[in-house]
Structure 1
Amino acid sequence: MTASRERMLIDCYRHDAHKMNGQPHKAATETFAGVPVNQTVPHGADGDASALSRPDGKPSQTVETHETPYRLSLIEGKSRYDPDTFTRRGVENGIRNLLTEDDPVAMHREWLESDVVSAFNESVYYPYTSLKYHTLLVVALLDNYRDGHEFADLLLVVDRAGETVPHRTVYAGENFALRIDESADGQPSSHLGSRPWRSWASAWNRLTAHPLDAVHDKYDMVLDANLRRIGAWSTALQYIEDFREAFDR
């Protein structure tokens, strides 16, 4: 990997640091702990990833009682901020570890495994969205675009648990992993579509094979049924993580 490509990916992982403290992009600081943050993402990857989870146009507040950068859980309907778990120092240390890493492959692994960043939403206007999975989607799109692939070329691919592709894997769990790629390598997959929009349910429904046992396992049945209803990509990916955590699955 060239130095310029490494820098582009590192900047991409750091591009929405301002959302973790509720700052608008225009007012965001340019550095955090001595590293550059809040840089513009090239190739339109940020806008395309946003379109996967949020509607076009001027946003309006969808939950009137919730105006914080902390995400609302689809499982509980409550804020993911827990003062006993997410102490100010713990959050700051977790963010610091995510953003100051200078190896893009290590950054990808830390974003996939981070509990801290799961607590934040992609937009305060859409509090069920997830900053964690928005960022992973941005990076996956950018890495594909950087290789010359267009959005219409891309697939949602189901991989085996433990199989991750740097910068392409957008979810990694104990039972399966998901990535955005132009080739499925024989794995179950579905096309993302001709343009980015809130199409998660459509892509999930069209997978050539599903990683959940919705016929014999009641938990998988509930998870699968709800994933077939969710449109926003970052919300759906976060829902899988939350569901596994809530039911120890």
Structure 2
Amino acid sequence: MSENATRNDVQSEDTPDETVAVYRHDAHKMNGQSHEDAPKTFAGVPVNQTVPYGADGDASALSRPSGQPEQTVENHETHYRLSLIEGESRYNPQEFTHNSVKSAIRDLLTEDDPEAMHRAWLNSDVVSAFNESVYYPYTSLKYHTLLVAALFDNYRADHEFAGLHLVVDDADEIVPHRTVYADEYSTLRIDVDTGRQPAARLGSRPWRSWASVWNRLPAHPLETNHDKYDMVLDTNLRRIGSWSTALQYIEDFREAFDQ
């Protein structure tokens, strides 16, 4: 089975272990390893497994180009993410000591309850430090993984990509595996059911469509009429194509400028 398995490739019944495996599928990227050279276990749990239904490949297409990757930023070939806010690596030797990172990753990957794991990824600061590809250092492993989980959960419910929406929910509304971003102001999820919330379709196929989808939302979770910081955030979100980059940008912006 290939790394990006299609729905027809998967015949087995979905299980909680399968859902947990989604959150562990790119563990190797936290160590800067390739998928081919990655170990099959970490701290006694299976990692780096294939994600069913082609969800990994589709999530990748939402954030980075297909085909043979090329280095897009000179002199930056590490697995640590570059920030769009500062233009600097998110690696901080004071915060990201070997032991502290290893401990945080261990806690994140050894959780065995699917819903608890989803919340742990939503709330994780450590995993925000890593990119989803060294070739595209502004992308985010954290949000790539959450996008994979959202697509996986929709696909296993027989939802087609063309029927999916970006949905804006209230801050306290966390939908297991489908919420891809959460802060104190609002949450964002990928779903078929919009529940009469502001929503916009993702389109007919996965591509770097963040700006297009964000522009089509009938209402935004930002106070763009009177808050200058939200105005800047909204303006920049209308320019970003990559989904994982955009979601990470919201998190970074809130961290940097929220008063």
TM-score when normalising by structure 1: 0.98
Q: Structure 2: which amino acid aligns with 1:171?
A: Y
Q: How is 1:131-146 mapped onto 2 (pairs within 5 angstroms)? A: 131-146=141-156
Q: Structure 2: which amino acid aligns with 1:197?
A: W
Counterpart among 172, 178, 181 of residue 188 in structure 2: 178
CA-CA distance at 1:162 after TM superposition: 1.5
Counterpart among 208, 223, 237 of residue 247 in structure 2: 237
Counterparts of 1:87 and 1:73, CA distance in 2: 19
CA offsets, 1:84-104, max 9 Å, x none?
Answer: 111111110110011000000
Q: Which runs of 4+ in 1 moved over 4 A?
A: none
Counterparts of 1:119 and 1:222, CA distance in 2: 23
CA-CA distance at 1:36 after TM superposition: 0.1
Residues 1:210 and 2:220 aligned together: yes
> Which residue number corresponds to residue 128 of structure 2?
118
> Which residue number corresponds to residue 9 of structure 2?
none
> Which residue number corresponds to residue 82 of structure 1?
92
Residues 1:59 and 2:69 aligned together: yes
> Which residue number corresponds to residue 14 of structure 1?
24
Counterparts of 1:59 and 1:73, CA distance in 2: 20
Q: Secondary structure at the match of 2:55?
A: helix
CA offsets, 1:12-38, max 9 Å, x none?
Answer: 000000000010000100000000000
CA-CA distance at 1:248 after TM superposition: 2.3
> Which residue number corresponds to residue 70 of structure 1?
80
State the identity %.
74
CA-CA distance at 1:5 after TM superposition: 2.4
Counterparts of 1:93 and 1:190, CA distance in 2: 38
Q: Structure 1: which amino acid aligns with 2:242?
A: A
> Which residue number corresponds to residue 3 of structure 2?
none
CA-CA distance at 1:224 after TM superposition: 0.1
> Which residue number corresponds to residue 93 of structure 1?
103
Q: Structure 1: which amino acid aligns with 2:65?
A: P
Q: Structure 1: which amino acid aligns with 2:108?
A: L
Counterpart among 220, 224, 227 of residue 230 in structure 2: 220
Question: Which ranges in structure 1 are unaligned for 5 or more consecutive residues?
Answer: none
Q: Secondary structure at the match of 1:156?
A: strand
Counterparts of 2:16 and 2:210, CA distance in 1: 29
CA-CA distance at 1:159 after TM superposition: 0.3
Counterparts of 2:258 and 2:15, CA distance in 1: 38
CA offsets, 1:181-210, max 9 Å, x none?
Answer: 001101000000000000000000000111
Counterpart among 138, 142, 147 of residue 157 in structure 2: 147
Q: Secondary structure at the match of 2:15?
A: helix
Q: Secondary structure at the match of 1:27?
A: coil
Q: Structure 1: which amino acid aligns with 2:81?
A: R
> Which residue number corresponds to residue 108 of structure 1?
118
TM-score when normalising by structure 2: 0.94
Q: Secondary structure at the match of 2:84?
A: coil
Q: Secondary structure at the match of 2:203?
A: coil
CA offsets, 1:123-182, max 9 Å, x none?
Answer: 000000000000000000000000000100100000001110000000001100000000
Number of equivalent positions: 247
Counterparts of 1:214 and 1:231, CA distance in 2: 20
Counterpart among 155, 174, 185 of residue 164 in structure 1: 174
> Which residue number corresponds to residue 246 of structure 1?
256
